[in-house]
Chains A and B, each alone.
Chain A
Amino acid sequence: MKRRFRSVLVIILGLVLLCVPGFLWRPQQRTAVQATYRSAMAPVFLVPGSSATQNRFNALVAGINQKAKHRHSLLRVEVMTDGTLKYTGSIRANDTQPIIVVGFENHHDGYATIQKQAKWFTIAFQALQRTYHFNHFSAMGHSNGGLVLTIFLEDDLAKTKAHADRLMTIASPFNLEESDQNVDTPLFKQLSAGRQRLPKELTVYSIAGSQGYSGDGIVPFDSVNRGKLIFQGQVKSFTQMTVTGANANHADLPENQQILALIRQDLLA
């Protein structure tokens, strides 16, 4: 009789002992869960460059879906100048990697507009986050779209509490259209000053188009090349690629088959 209760007591004591680390750890649990939790949905944001609308990537998304195992649904959001949002398209239930194109009513070129667009992007991002409850995402920006995303990552990502997984910039002019290598534009200075706020877990791909040896016809090669001065050493990894051949001029890049392959392989992987 005595031995019976001794054994049971030993087991219960062991059980309680094993529970002790759990009790001690409990106060840190919320932080630990929050740090490791990733939502099932991780949307891919596409941001077009100046003078392009939220319909800019329709052909690109069709191209992506042609070979995709699971079709990505497409939601287009247009941010009006007063900060209201207009939606077209939809996200299919249970689509874990939908594509969301964010375009802007004011899509003119210029430093001041890019700043505003970055703020508008934040508005759209937060609204979508409230609806779809994602807490991590990837993004691709063509031309100035890449700049908009970079400013967003530096200035506003922290307050959304989301995690950025991958960023791909296509022919993004980090020094605008400045072809003189010795001149730093205000935009470059801003991005360079804020680079330490870039998320450390981010993987970045910067793609340059090349027609001839100096650029893609619109953006000088040196301006794209300056991405390394912003990202290198700040993010988990930074890869720079140059695409040449047919469709390598600035405006055609989103339809370029090589770039389509890179998006499939690196951004959507």
Chain B
Amino acid sequence: MSGTTRLPYNLRYWGMVTMAEQVSGLGRHLVDCEIKFRRNRQMRAIYCALRLIFPLILVGTLADFINQAWLQRSGYYYQTLHVAKWVFQLKLCRQYLGLLSAGTLGMAAILVAFAVSFYLVAPATPVIANRLMAGIIAIIVLKTLNVNRATVLNNHPVQWLSNNLGLSGILVGVLVGLLVGNGYRWLINHQDAAQHPLAQSVGGISLWLIVLTGLGFLWLKTQTVGLTAALLALSRWPFQLPQHLGALLGFGLLTGLCQWLGILGPIASVGGQSVQAAQNLTAVLDHSGWQVPHPVTLHTVFDVYAASGGPGMVLALLLAIFLVNHNVRQRQIGWYCLIPTLGNFNAPLLVGLPVLFSPLLLVPFLLAPLVCTTLSWGCLVLHWVPAAAYPLANGTPGILQAYLGTGGSLAALTLSVVELALSTAIYYPFVKWAGIAEEVVAHETTIS
């Protein structure tokens, strides 16, 4: 079906939806943007890839959640339910779950690179072998960027690295997938149709491999750090020791942006910050009162109050999904992600919805933590709530982090609940609009 005949139909559908849902002017505009964005060929490939890997991310995160929160010493349930006393074969369970999460989450970047490249090439060719080969080349290129540099430069047997290929490598996976997919697509469109299929594929593949491995080698030769490590370092450098509101907000903004771009993972644990956290803890343990030398740190503001359900106040996003109750797929994803999100593991919801690369959802994803940070900062400066000093156990339910971090302050608990409600309100309209945009785009795909 051609574009000109498709558009009026969609506009009609779009109009029906917006009338039924009473979307405001701003909402219409944002939904329009989101729909345009989602129609883009590159973005569609990325969304399809994220949708494809969602089950794997979910299983891996669940395994990781059980391991971290129930079976490790620093886990919330391990401590509060005294798991060590009653669980059967603790060590064996830890090892098994560790393997399970490494096998899924640990390969997220590879899977994304394969899938993005595959979905980019898929509309251009009916030959399945070509689509698969595009994905395979993406994997090879990603691996050439993740290689032990010294072994290559010294002519030793090449060692492949497996770090940086986890959740924090999704962005690199996407970039490699786009590069390879688009290149391969161009090659297919410009092939000489008269040639024998075998000659076509051998020629194309070898050309691409030689060019791309060359690019990888060039990076290796000139740069001392891996691509993913370089991106991670770049995202960390501006805010080493945030102690003022401005720096805290900047840090929150940057963390949110990185997560949205697919650098998931623990960016919040900045080196040097731990010194202040340790001094706070020592002060609290040494003295009977609750006096903390550094009331405003990343830990006391951002970790405790602005990360319910993981960075980005994702617990509020979950609540908003069920409050909107409009889009069946959103709700289903919400149910699947319920358990990890209640334990502050936000990856499945970010990938499944997806929040990653969605311009519409970026707004509340950045805004909600910023509002929470500002509010908590204000309350801390005015001494309405004590500063958290105790270490946070992994998997502590979002609203309980402040309460346990401050050793049982009800004011802190109240503040967390208020902030969760506020964040849910911030997410609500955007989740509604994202649902509409997705329905329109999905409708379009089914009729075309």
Contacts and interface: CB of A to CB of B under 8 A. Distances in A.
Interface of A: 3-4, 7-8, 11-12, 14-15, 18-19, 21-22, 24-26, 29-30, 32-34, 36-37, 39-40, 94, 133, 135
Given A15-B399, A33-B390, A22 B80 contact: yes
Given A22-B404, A29-B404, A133-B286, A40 B319 contact: no
B377 to A, nearest CB: 25
Contacts of B81: 21
B323 A4 contact: yes
Interface in B307-334: 315, 318-319, 322-325, 331
B22 to A, nearest CB: 15
Nearest to A18: B397
Interface in B377-409: 390-391, 396-400, 403-404, 407-408
Contacts of B318: 11
| Residue among B315, B397, B403, B408 with most chain A CB within 10 A | B397
Interface residues of B, number: 35
Given A4-B322, A14-B342, A19-B400, 5 more contacts: A4-B325, A11-B338, A21-B76, A22-B397, A29-B407
Nearest to A14: B342
Contacts of B325: 3-4, 7
B342 A34 contact: no
Contacts of B322: 4, 7-8, 11
B77 interface: yes
Contacts, number: 73
B435 to A, nearest CB: 13
B399 A133 contact: no
A94 to B, nearest CB: 7
B279 interface: yes
Given A3-B325, A7-B331, A19-B399, A24 B279 contact: no
A32 B407 CA distance: 12
B417 to A, nearest CB: 10
B278 interface: yes
Minimum-distance CB pairs A-B, first 9: A21-B80, A4-B325, A25-B80, A7-B322, A133-B282, A18-B397, A22-B400, A19-B400, A8-B322
B138 to A, nearest CB: 38
Interface of B: 73, 76-77, 79-81, 274-275, 278-279, 281-282, 285-286, 315, 318-319, 322-325, 331, 338, 342, 390-391, 396-400, 403-404, 407-408
Q: Is the contact region of chain B dominated by helix, strand, or loop, or is it mixed?
A: helix
Nearest to B281: A37
A94 B391 CA distance: 20
Contacts of A11: 318-319, 322, 338
Among B76, B80, B279, B286, find the residue whose CB has the most chain A CB atoms closer than 10 A. B80
Contacts of A37: 281, 285, 391
Contacts of B400: 18-19, 22
B294 to A, nearest CB: 14
Contacts of A24: 80
A40 B279 CA distance: 10
Given A18-B397, A40-B278, A34 B285 contact: yes
Nearest to A33: B390
A126 to B, nearest CB: 13
Contacts of A32: 79
A39 B397 contact: no
Nearest to A34: B285
A32 B80 CA distance: 10
A123 to B, nearest CB: 19
Contacts of B282: 39, 133, 135
B83 to A, nearest CB: 11
Contacts of A33: 281, 285, 390-391
Nearest to A10: B322
A4 B435 CA distance: 15
